[in-house]
Structure 1
């Protein structure tokens, strides 16, 4: 607050006129006394509008303070005078309150980590700023790369469906999104419809939907980044005819400019995540083959950074079946790409000489050493003849498979071997097993053991106990066996574990 000496008196109308002509700061300088004030103090300004209220009250709510001149000193016919300090305090308090509100709203927005969270926070904050109760935001990036989505505030899925039945050109967000830059009118920054039902030429379907949903006015703003790239539009709906004041429009405009930058970053992040997910899904088998005499099920969960674990099942000549699991060192896109190359190579070697798993892994090791000299990998390949219930397998630094049946639950005794790429020449003997009818061979990657957070011997013991505890009614379904093992080994779930490790389970039940 500015403590201006009492001898300085300014008529209210003159001060307001000066503010409009030259700005508040120039008006203060113009009407300030030439000498130094006798006293200056700056008490904490009262907070007029707060973030916690549903709709912030107008900033200028402090009534002008009357001049405290003794009645005897003021003639009865003198015009009413107001101390300039009270007017300036009122305006400064409003500005401080607005800045505080915007600061708190943008801090809330900055804490959102996903696109959906950010859009919902944008709607809530905008509704508080413009004094509305409901709204929706439509995201349609101008580059056409997506994601295209619609999020509502106070509107259910059915309500959004009703709004989508309105012709796009009749909606305020449609006019914003479909406007073309360079044409007369350009892209509107805002569209206010203070009384929808009273508008001439209102689309009949829009009138019907407005009556059904119970809104009578709307206010829409364009969402665009600082570079002018359009990302969508936000619309807030009023239950009664209404229109935001100039102050509210200014505040929501400032907030929307900041929110658009944050939303644009989340859109880019969402695109990267979607592309990475699509890449990993395409590198993994989209479905498992159907081979007589065996049932297959797979569970694959990639870590947050993207890893190089994979599984595969491919039909081979003479009604045989090849099963493989493996893991490439590292994480991120480079590991995913290396995993794709290694998996494709293994498929080729399996088709040519799958009946000899040692030869398959030897060829794979040579390829890895020549093409990926700085990378190593573990792998296990099994050549299965379902009609004979015969499995020949070999592993390179990989954990042994687990046989799950009614009479036994045991690990397959495989020979110890180094991972691929660790030795000048890899070779290890293969192992042959004969599962009984109804038994399941469970192949997995080390990520399942690492995610337990325990020493390897205890992790193996937990895995064995989980497989042994499969309910009898679930032993006929390899998918149910895989799910039971996952939920037992990791009771808190895959998402609750703080680990970057991938998890792969491949179950083959022999009939």
Structure 2
């Protein structure tokens, strides 16, 4: 008879014999496999995390100056240096070069500029052919003072400033080309490791792309500001009995805020401020057309501000029906100290003097282009000798970030706080008001609002 089969159990083959021998006891725990690879991976993750943090900080910069400063500091941290120098210059452009130092004062930068450019590593990465290996990978000089071929003037400057080694790297990429170069200085002989060179090279290529974008953006902003300034008065007129001052800043995208001051017959003066809806080149062009039209209407019928704005509204409705604008026009007779004004959806003027600081009560009216027929009564008032009439656009209020009622109160407080010694100088009045309203200044890059302030001081 054949031997009986064992019952079948899931996972066990009864045909396979089971060993009766016990395994030897484990006396030593073997090392985990791949420990070296794990260490390498941990190092790579740490390097990539550091690189990611630095590039995130760089990407958050909105101005060219801030990006250059961040690049210098981050590069110094990556290569283990304490001081550095960056030169930004783009071939084929008329833009002047930008030089920035890290841990170097103006006198130190002056000493470095006395060294012949070709005698420095930075000069070689700036002027060398882009395809050269040094121009791509950077130039390390581990022992400057030990180099027998070092330029004598370079040796003298290195000794004076106390650096013994340097590492220069181009700021270049395939898309942006070469924008400049950076060099970091070591207090003792040395050079960055291969890993440090690799990391700073990756960072520099990313930084070059970011700098190229910011350079184009700042060039566009400068062009917009130039066009905006050309559309506004090149100088303010001189009329007996009144002195004028104006301040204007265009937002980064280009806006439609404007002002004007023009002499009129019989020694009169026309003052105007306004704002065109929208931003960009289209709004700037509309602003130029609106200002030119108002000048023509003011010459013909300036003594009647309501007629001037009515004609302007009709023109805007017929030629640009999809656009709205606010405007305020004042007809001034300085000899008689008489001001007649009308406004279309615009902020009221502010009168500042030794005995009063108050808003001029104007009638409530809609902006130009919103009604089928615009018309609002004019307002007449008489500024006392020594008083200043302040005209402005709502961009001044909006840039504060406050609600409009609080912004109006803030403007009133700013005007009331003008020192008495400055109240007879319209330029001092406008500057004080701007400092009080905008402590961070007019050139904040994160604000899209235009600002116009026009002051007329009556003697």
Verify same fold: TM over 0.5.
Answer: yes
**1:341 offset after TM fit, Å?**
2.4
Aligned to 2:368: 420
Among 57, 65, 74, the alignment partner of 1:125 is 74
From 166, 170, 175, give the equivalent of 2:115: 166
1:383 aligns with 2:327: no
Q: CA RMSD in A?
A: 3.6
- Alpha carbons of 1:439 and 1:108: their partners in 2 closer, same or farther (altered >3 Å)? closer
- CA deviations over 1:330-387 (Å, ceiling 9, x no partner): 2344323322322233233334443443343233223222322111111111222323
Query: 1:403–1:130: structure 2 CA closer, same or farther, 3 Å change rule?
Result: closer
The Cα of 1:188 is off from its aligned counterpart by 5.1
The change in CA–CA distance for 1:127 and 1:400 in structure 2 (over 3 A counts) is closer
Q: CA deviation at 1:235?
A: 0.8
How far did 1:269 drift?
2.6
Residue 335 of structure 2 aligns to a residue in which SS? helix
1:437 is aligned to 385
Secondary structure at the counterpart of residue 243 of structure 1: coil
Conservation of the 8 A alpha-carbon contact between 1:188 and 1:222: yes
Q: Which residue of 2 aligns with 1:105?
A: 54
Question: Which residue in 1 is equivalent to 2:154?
Answer: 206
Q: Which residue is equivalent to 2:212?
A: 264
Deviations along 1:106-156, whole A, 9 cap, x unmatched?
333333333223222322232233232211121112342647312222112
Which residues in structure 2 correspond to 1:36-75 (within 5 Å)?
Answer: none
Cross-structure match for 1:156: 105
Listed as ranges, the matches of 1:223-372 within 5 Å are: 223-227=171-175, 229-302=177-250, 306-372=254-320
Partners in 2 of 1:137 and 1:464 — Cα distance?
46
Which of 144, 153, 176 pairs up with 2:93? 144
TM-score normalised by L of structure 2: 0.80
- Could you tell me which residue of structure 2 aligns to residue 114 of structure 1? 63
Mapped contact 1:309–1:445 kept (Cα < 8 A): yes
Q: 1:202 to 1:349 in 2, by over 3 A?
A: farther
Please give the alpha-carbon distance, in whole angstroms, between the structure 1 residues aligned to 2:182 and 2:81.
12
> What pairs with 1:390-429 in structure 2 (closer than 5 Å)?
390-429=338-377
Pair 1:150–1:88, CA change in 2 (3 A): same
232-241 or 464-473: which moved more?
A: 464-473
Q: Which runs of 5+ in 1 are unaligned?
A: 1-67, 71-81
- What SS class does the counterpart of residue 206 from structure 1 fall into? helix
Distance 1:348 1:262, change over 3 A: same
Deviations 1:50-98 (A, max 9, x none): xxxxxxxxxxxxxxxxxx999xxxxxxxxxxx99855545544444443
Per the alignment, residue 60 of structure 1 pairs with: none
SS in 2 for 1:196: coil
Query: Structure 1's 294 and 211: CA in aligned 2 closer, same or farther, altered over 3 A?
Result: same
Q: 1:390 to 1:174 in 2, by over 3 A?
A: same
Question: Distance between the aligned counterparts of 2:251 and 2:165, measured in 1?
Answer: 47
Q: Is the 8 A contact 1:362 1:427 kept in 2?
A: yes
* In structure 2, C-alpha distance between the alignment counterparts of 1:129 and 1:152, rounded to whole Å: 17
Distance 1:186 1:254, change over 3 A: closer
1:510: Cα distance to partner? Answer: 0.9
CA 1:392–1:269 in structure 2 vs 1: closer, same or farther (change >3 Å)? same
> Which of residues 216, 219, 224 in structure 1 aligns to 2:167?
219
Contact kept in structure 2, 1:147 and 1:271, CA below 8 Å: no
CA distance change for structure 1 residues 209 and 347 in 2, over 3 Å: closer, same or farther?
Answer: farther
Whole-Å Cα distance in 2 between the matches of residues 410 and 104 of structure 1? 52
| TM-score normalised according to structure 1 size | 0.73
Q: Please give the secondary structure, in 2, of the residue aligned with 1:387.
A: coil
Distance 1:147 1:476 in 2: 40
